[in-house]
Amino acid sequence: MNPGDGGATGDFGFGTFTANFDALAELEIFELADLDKIPNPLHRASPNYPYEMKQAGISGWARVMFIVDETGRVRSPRITASSHREFEQPSLDAVLQWKFEPGMKDGRAVKTRMMLPLKFNLNN
């Protein structure tokens, strides 16, 4: 059985388009090693320790990757690894409250990719 093309036709050309180099620069995200000045933390909220984990005496961590934008705000946080799933959402919630002095490259503020562990320790 050959279904064929069903008689469907279409013009799927993309036409022409131009890219503004300033718009492309907006998409550029730098790694820490590529910066002249790395982002400096101005405010770091601590994550809330999950009640059930605290009651059970469980310590742990969550590693969060995120972007610090040109204004120093945290964007697009995501968990890359964790010791326990219960530490993930409190870590994301805390990181979204953080504020940085943005990273600098060639005299301008730029988007920077960062990855940091957040530790949940009953002794602190």
User: pLDDT tens-digit profile of 33-90?
Assistant: 999 999 999 999 999 999 999 999 999 999 999 999 999 999 999 999 999 999 999 9
Residue 42 CA to residue 102 CA, distance in Å, equals: 10
What pLDDT digit, counting tens, does each position of 85-122 carry? Answer: 999 999 999 999 999 999 999 999 999 999 999 999 98
SS3 107: coil
Q: Where are the alpha helices (DSSP H) in 1-124?
A: 21-27, 51-55, 88-95
For the four alpha carbons of 28, 32, 33 and 34, in that order, the dihedral sign comes to positive
pTM: 0.77
Superfamily of domain 30-120 in the CATH hierarchy:
TonB (3.30.2420.10)
Return the domain boundaries, the chain: 30-120
